[in-house]
Structure 1
Amino acid sequence: MTDPVSAPKVRLSDIAAATGYSLATVSKVLNGRTDVASSTRREIEQALRASGYTAHSRAPRAQRMIEVVFQDFETLWALEVLRGVLRETKAHDVSVITTESGDRQHPDASWVDGVLRRRPIGVILIFSNLTDEEKAKLDRNTIPYVVFDPSGQPSVDDMSVQADNWTGGVIATRHLLELGHRRIGIITGPEEMMCSRARLDGYSAALAEQGLPLDPALVTEGDFTTDGGYAQAMELLAQPDRPTAIFAGSDLQAMGVYEAARQNGLRIPEDLSVVGFDDVQTAAFLGPALTTVRQPLQDMASAAAGMLIDTVDGRDPQRHVILPTTLVVRNSTQRLP
């Protein structure tokens, strides 16, 4: 029996000779470069796996660093997430960098190559789901990742952190129903995002508990921004039988609802009750203070960073974390006269 310790190590030149491709092409595939044909990439990757090749020659990472990939970093929501990441990494002497890339569903095509150059110990992806090819690149380069608030159903193989969005939708709508509201509008997030669908499903379930049908005229699709919340609220409030309450899918959208109400001469909460979602820091300082569903963003972000640190340090992390949502009642809702 061959001693695995004394067995000759497989070299990249061996893979090149076995596949008939140049050493440069094999190296490009190993390092996740995109300028290689898909068929070539598949053949070389198969040879690498079959040979058991490991890249022992890579230089060690000089610094422990986590990369957080945002769609943009212009919102209070993103700042809450970053605060949570920093809270966890500070205790482990890990640095943090942020990247703005792509959209809420997926990073742009250049993102993975940038990560491979920067060599973080792990990546937190905000709202993103990766392709199989991108996952393979990160896996080959031993860069673990966590999907934060995934836009779709997370893979069983991926680490993910999210809030209980369905329950959040239920408790927000129940609160308005208990105050006597029956014409309750909702401004969702983008339809393709799982958190948006879950909140809408929770809204529908709470209505069904009271025997109320879902009225399509009261359901509008926003984009989680203040401008989107304003535009959708203006549509809802223009209806002849306007809603007496609006459940905004985010606090930023709720801010847009406040402005739409002002322009329509409506007082909050006397003429229109409003519930948000997230509980960003400014929600308590709106006039009136916003009733909202608290999504524990900082705790979620800390959990995501902890999962990466546990993975790198050889501990077995939780792979899928769902944190509870709670209702925070303030001054933007009141009983319907």
Structure 2
Amino acid sequence: MPTTPTSTHSSAPTLAEVARHAGVTSATVSNVLRSRGRVGEVTRQRVLEAIAALGYRPHLPARALAEGRAPTIALMVASIANPFYPEFALAVENALRRSGQFLIICNTDGDPHTGRAYLEQLAGTLSAGVLVMNANLDFDDLRLSELRGAPVVLCMWEKPLESPGLPCVAVDFHLAGELAARHLIELGHRRIGAIVGSKAYGIHAARYDGFVTAMEAAGLDPAAAPVIHASDTTQGGYAAARELLSRHPDLTALFATNDLPALGAMQAAADLGFDVPRQLSVVGITDIHLASESRPALTTVAVPTVEAAELGVALLRELIAGTGKSGGQGEREAKVCVASPPHLVVRASTAPASR
């Protein structure tokens, strides 16, 4: 009767077994795994061969317990359906992977109760720190996360000159709005409608303020420019553009505070019989991948997405390393890191005013 082959290991190999197999100490194996300390190349290769031969895989919960910190970072976003957030998450993941950390993405659907529940479950246990992207969370809840031992960094904060009182990475979105509006004005457009992808005093307020600044600088009355506050979605931009163009068919350009509403506006223009850009120019802000893939390709103001993600990860690591020192993070001044300025990307959706 044939016998069933048995493995030399009845359970997963341990770090100590790897050390014995390689003829080194457990500390040396640990240094190789973490790329720390001084380990000679010959010794490092012997450890790697032992890891491969035994099929060793680090036990992350045990490592977290031993090191006193979780191996993951949480990223909280309002809606993973918005294509900007996956692009930002990919940049965060790439930055984390270089240090052997992992990313947990928490989708709040813009619901503060869901966000609060995530914080209560993650902060200081599953995640060593939290990056927050427009997740509609109360700042007091975020400060509680700090007290639980998980520092928080706000990402893509839109007002570099106004600290939110929490560590953050800021992008000058006022300048982004100004650049977008200035581009339309320089093309000769004077009858410009605005689609704002948030409430009047919401997260896109700085972008619209930049639009107003550019209008005033050109001697135009921003109060005469019709504006609609819509959801920050393609559907929101579509509905807003239909309303604007139906009420004001003399408009020659539309300014949108984000790319998704701008893309929706172009769809609405096509359905209403407007040729983009010959009869109507459209400009957005952010420069998501879809902006270059639309037809016509969308003129937009690009923001430094990858840089902001890397700055956020670096700042969070800095805070995690300092947690528990000098009385804790709450007693340190909230640091604001400002990313590179936005810049205009001219594509096919804008042209000189023809009427």
Report TM bin, short chain: 0.7 to 0.9
| Counterpart residue number, 2:347 | 330
Kindly report which structure 2 residues correspond to 1:13-162, keeping only aligned pairs within 5 A, or say none.
60-61=67-68, 63-103=70-110, 108-116=115-123, 118-128=125-135, 130-131=137-138, 133-150=140-157, 154-156=163-165, 158-162=166-170
The Cα shift of 1:320 comes to 0.9
Structure possessing the higher radius of gyration over alpha carbons: 2
Instruction: State the identity as a percent.
Output: 30
Distance 1:161 1:167 in 2: 16
The Cα shift of 1:136 comes to 4.6
The Cα shift of 1:259 comes to 0.9
Residues 155 and 250 of structure 1: CA distance in aligned 2, closer, same or farther (over 3 Å): closer
| Matching residue's letter, 2:286 | D
Gaps of 5+ in 2: 1-64, 324-331
Distance 2:102 2:305 in 1: 20
| Counterpart residue number, 2:241 | 233
| Matching residue's letter, 1:328 | V
Aligned residues: 279
Distance 1:303 1:211 in 2: 38
The Cα shift of 1:108 comes to 3.7
Q: Deviations over 1:254-310 (max 9, x none)?
A: 110111011111111001101011100121111111100001122212211111112
Which shifted more, 193-202 or 110-119?
110-119
2:207 maps to 1:199: yes
The Cα shift of 1:204 comes to 0.8
2:332 maps to 1:320: no
Q: Deviations over 1:121-178 (max 9, x none)?
A: 110111146546524532232110111234886433x111231111111111111011
Residues 132 and 176 of structure 1: CA distance in aligned 2, closer, same or farther (over 3 Å): closer
Residues 88 and 317 of structure 1: CA distance in aligned 2, closer, same or farther (over 3 Å): farther
8 Å CA contact 1:146, 1:160 repeated in 2: yes
The Cα shift of 1:218 comes to 1.3
The Cα shift of 1:62 comes to 6.2
Distance 2:309 2:198 in 1: 22
Distance 1:63 1:179 in 2: 53
TM-score by length of 1: 0.76
| Matching residue's letter, 1:159 | P
| Counterpart residue number, 2:5 | none
- Among 304, 312, 322, the alignment partner of 1:304 is 312
- Among 281, 285, 307, the alignment partner of 1:277 is 285
Residues 227 and 132 of structure 1: CA distance in aligned 2, closer, same or farther (over 3 Å): closer
Q: Deviations over 1:107-128 (max 9, x none)?
A: 5442222214743111011114
8 Å CA contact 1:105, 1:193 repeated in 2: no
| Counterpart residue number, 1:259 | 267
